Amino acid sequence: MRWRIDLRYDGTAFHGWARQTGLRTVQGTLEEAIRVVLRLPEPVTVTCAGRTDTGVHARGQVTHVDVEAAVDPLRLLRGLNGVLPEDVAVTAVTAAPEGFDARFSALARRYVYRLCDDPAGWDPLTRGHVLRVGRPMDVERMNTAAAALLGEHDFAAFCKKREGASTVRALLEFSWQRTGTGQLEGTVIADAFCHSMVRALVGSMLPVGDGRRDVAWPGAVLAEKVRDSAVSVLPAHGLTLEEVRYPADDELAARALQARQVRGEVHQRG
């Protein structure tokens, strides 16, 4: 039976999501916890909606796992949280609807990148989740530049391209807002992301926000379809996967089939 497991984690001490021999990863940690709680002879494979990179956090990660053993969802949730380390927490365990695939059934992923541009607003207690920048940002300029990137485009200029993988994505929202003194949040929503895309998109906004680049510059970079060394891939710790959106239950299988056909086996990473 397929189970949906929702979780959140602090990515600081993890080498990303994907299981790697000899390294501490979220996938490896969760798979071992499931093995222990269900008393399985071998770990089972967990599939996630968004393969976060090293140091990236998640508040709304969604996964699925197929197990043959009998499962009481409440006991599994409690059991997992009893054996998982303190930087990972399971928030829900539910029987997956027919056709559900945590990765391919997803309609969109929502990431938020957090910045602080004013020493008066810097909070040392959140330093592991916020990037401190040395110049004040103009949110209006950043929103103007971000709006020009919306829609379906080839985002090769903002991705680490993989052989044979498409870099065409639909950017559904890219917006900035102030949430307090010196505090900025950049919300990025797309149907999927390629490797380092979110942090590169946000990186292209900083020189616009502080006036070093014109508001048209990120759009010009996008049109070139090649990586530009002037675009910084920002540090991972400011980025959090906040939400994964899915269609209605009766549309899950069709969405998964469509996503596989369009993208193939591509990374959904920030």
Q: Which helix (H) or strand (E) holds 72?
A: none
Q: How far is CA 143 from the centre of its chain?
A: 21
Annotated active-site positions, please?
Answer: 53
Binding-site residue positions for substrate? 111
Judge whether 141 and 204 are in contact, CB under 8 Å: no
In the block, tokens 């998640």 appear at 58
Angstrom distance (rounded) from CA 123 to CA 127? 7
DSSP of 194-220, one letter per residue?
-TTHHHHHHHHHHHHHTTSS-TTHHHH
Residue at 133: amino acid letter: V
Residue 171, both tokens: 């950017």
Binding-site residue positions? 111
Angstrom distance (rounded) from CA 236 to CA 270? 9
* Distances in whole angstroms, Cα of residue 120 to Cα of each of 126, 136, 175, 255: 14, 12, 24, 46
Measured torsion, CA atoms of residues 77, 113, 226, 219, in degrees rounded to the nearest 10: 130
Judged by DSSP in three states, 133 sits in coil
* Distances in whole angstroms, Cα of residue 2 to Cα of each of 15, 20, 66, 260: 26, 24, 4, 19
